[in-house]
């Protein structure tokens, strides 16, 4: 089982706004930055959000991240078919002395 908890699936129709949650504890999310990754089928993961809320250059502003306490969320607005992918949250865990991932959320665009 993953240290960080994500819903296994999410879905939405084109143009909608969807959010993906990531729940942790005081030893990980509560005390460290959260990162979000997008993995399109058959490709390497790609950094989507760094340090809770920052979008790397080239990431559309449709993607946004937030963090509160021991939870974080990724929001995707104006959903598009090309957003269909697996999404993972990650952070550092002080107790485990290393990064940890959520189990991943498969996003389906209906």
Partner 1 sequence: QVQLLQSGAEVKEPGASVKVSCKASGYSGRNYGISWVRLAPRQGLEWMGWSSAFNGNTRYAQKFEGRLSLTTDTATATTYMELRGLRSDDTAVYFCARDPGYTPQGWFDPWGQGSLVTVSS
Residues found near partner 1 in the complex (CB under 8 A)? 2, 32-33, 35, 37, 39, 44-47, 50-51, 56, 88, 90-92, 96-104
Q: How far is the CB of 39 from partner 1 (least distance, A)?
A: 8
Q: How far is the CB of 69 from partner 1 (least distance, A)?
A: 18
Q: How far is the CB of 49 from partner 1 (least distance, A)?
A: 10
Closest CA to 36 of 50, 25, 26: 50
CA atoms within 13 A on the CB side of 101: 10
Nearer to partner 1 (CB atom), residue 87 or residue 109:
87
Q: How far apart are CA 22 and CA 36, in angstroms?
A: 10
């Amino acid at each position: 089982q993953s240290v960080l908890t994500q819903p296994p699936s999410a879905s939405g129709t084109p143009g909608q706004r969807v959010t993906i949650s990531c729940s942790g504890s005081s030893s990980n999310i509560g005390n460290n930055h959260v990162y979000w990754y997008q993995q399109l089928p058959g490709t390497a993961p790609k950094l989507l959000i760094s340090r809770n809320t920052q979008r790397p250059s080239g990431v559309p502003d449709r993607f946004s991240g937030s963090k509160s306490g021991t939870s974080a969320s990724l929001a995707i607005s104006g959903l598009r078919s090309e957003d269909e992918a697996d999404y993972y949250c990650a952070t550092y865990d002080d107790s485990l002395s290393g990064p940890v991932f959520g189990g991943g959320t498969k996003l389906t665009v209906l």
